[in-house]
Amino acid sequence: MMLPTVWSCSFVLDWDIDRLPCDERQRCAVGYSCVDDVCVSDQSIPHECDIDDDCDTTEVCVTLLNHAKVCRPTCHYGVQDGVYYDDCASTVDALKYCQALGPSTNRRLVCLDNEEGVAQNEGDPCHPLENPCAQSLTCYADGKCHAFCIGGTDNCTSPQSCQTVESLYQICL
């Protein structure tokens, strides 16, 4: 007797199931959830929070522009020999970038996903979530992308200089 076996196409054909359409009943494979008709990894969905203690130890509670609060991984950046680096673990297939996010009174450096792969260049108009800056840049309060820097480094283009912002990070202004 032969029993019918159901295998997901993504498994048999080795497709990446992240970002595939949800099925007709808004379902996805195990470990994935249907968000806006697309399957996304459960691990990539930030959970809501009120304070940092609501988040994992590597995350902070950050306020989004719509006043919702979500847990996001913290990030640290540096500049060595004029080259920017961060600890967001970006790959060719999964672009991540370190961004200052939250209201000006409580900005936090967090890793964000750049699912679209489109990023703005230095001086371009930006929005940290909807129109992000390229890696090594952050969207500043003036709505433009600025380069991260470390005081004493030479990665700022003259006449800019490395300025501390909100005692949290430094950018070329």
Tokens at residue 100, please? 């200052």
118 found inside a domain: yes
87 found inside a domain: yes
Read off the pLDDT band of 76 (50, 70, 90): very high
Read off the pLDDT band of 97 (50, 70, 90): confident
146 found inside a domain: yes
For residues 119 and 112, what is the distance between their CA atoms, to the nearest angstrom? 12
158 found inside a domain: yes
Read off the pLDDT band of 109 (50, 70, 90): very high
State whether 93 and 161 are in the same domain.
yes
1 found inside a domain: no
57 found inside a domain: no
53 found inside a domain: no
**What is the secondary structure of 9-28 as a DSSP string?**
HHHHTT---TTPBP-TTS--
90 found inside a domain: yes
State whether 33 and 94 are in the same domain.
no
pLDDT at 112: 85
For residues 55 and 138, what is the distance between their CA atoms, to the nearest angstrom? 23
Range of the domain at 19: 15-44
State whether 92 and 147 are in the same domain.
yes
State whether 94 and 131 are in the same domain.
yes
Reported for 35-40, long-range contacts at CB under 8 A and 24+ positions apart, including other chains, are none
The model carries a pTM of 0.69
Q: How far apart are the first and last CA of the chain?
A: 73
pLDDT digits (tens, 9 = 90+) for 14-58: 445 556 787 888 787 877 767 667 776 666 666 788 999 999 999
pLDDT digits (tens, 9 = 90+) for 130-171: 788 888 999 898 999 999 988 766 678 888 889 998 888 999
Domain count, the chain: 2
State whether 25 and 101 are in the same domain.
no
Answer yes or no: are the C-beta atoms of 57 and 35 closer than 8 Å: no
State whether 29 and 79 are in the same domain.
no
